[in-house]
Amino acid sequence: MTTLVKVEAVWTPESQQKIFRAILNGFAFPGRVQDIATPLNGGRAEVGVLASLVDEQVTLADPDDLLSPTERRLLAPAAITSAGAAEYVVCDGHRAPGEAFRPNLGTIYRPEDGATLVLTSDGFPETGSRTIVTLTGPGIETEQMFGVSGLHTDWLRARNRWCDYFPTGCDLILCGTTQIVGIPRTSRLTFNEISEEER
């Protein structure tokens, strides 16, 4: 008797292709919120993003243990390694990065070795308590603003330090529930926190 195993949408090529296009758009137009609800089909955004980027040719770090053993096995990276060595790093954006946390930033001779950080958050609301992020730089006509909730602002402070010496640095993909935002290392970033009373 054959047992049918249901495969979540994020593990199908069709969904991964759609999420990958959203990631490309996110980096082509930094700070614009990209909706991936349809290809996720109930899956977690950070898993969908990683499923679209990670394969047996790249390394992955999961210092906060956000991924289940099954998810790690399905991602099938070349290696699960430390955050400072991995090409892709998934972290809990609700918690501040530790003082010792430092992703691979590449070198002046190999800037492409800089990591991509995939950070979780609560999402990208337009009202209520949130952090307003303003981006300028390549791919942005004047400036691009978006609000994010549930992201510890120490990540944004650290990101600016890590990207001080372009072309070295790291790229960010912020994940909400069903949306993502790309922040390439080429973007200049400022932010301020808005409380419920100030909205």
Instruction: Decide if 138 contacts 161 (C-beta within 8 A).
Output: no
- CA pair distance 77, 60, nearest whole angstrom: 6
Tell me the HSE value of 20 on the side-chain side, using a 13 A CA sphere.
11
| Residue in 153, 189, 185 with CA at minimum distance from that of residue 167 | 185
Taking residues 47-61, what's their average pLDDT? 97
99 φ, ψ to 5°? -60, -30
| DSSP letter assigned to residue 11 | G
pLDDT band of residue 3 (cuts 50, 70, 90) is low
pLDDT for residue 5 is more than 60: no
Tokens describing residue 98: 């530790």
28 φ, ψ to 5°? -70, -30
pLDDT for 16 equals 98
pLDDT for 195 equals 79
pLDDT band of residue 69 (cuts 50, 70, 90) is very high
pLDDT for 7 equals 73
Instruction: Decide if 159 contacts 172 (C-beta within 8 A).
Output: yes
Helices (H), 76-145: none
Taking residues 76-82, what's their average pLDDT? 95
pTM, two decimals, is 0.94
The torsion angle over the Cα atoms of residues 149, 151, 157 and 162, rounded to 10 degrees, is -130
Residue 161: beta bridge partners?
none
Taking residues 1-18, what's their average pLDDT? 81
Q: What is the mean pLDDT of the chain?
A: 94
pLDDT for 132 equals 98
Cis ω for the linkage preceding 167 (within 30 of 0):
yes
- CA pair distance 160, 187, nearest whole angstrom: 10
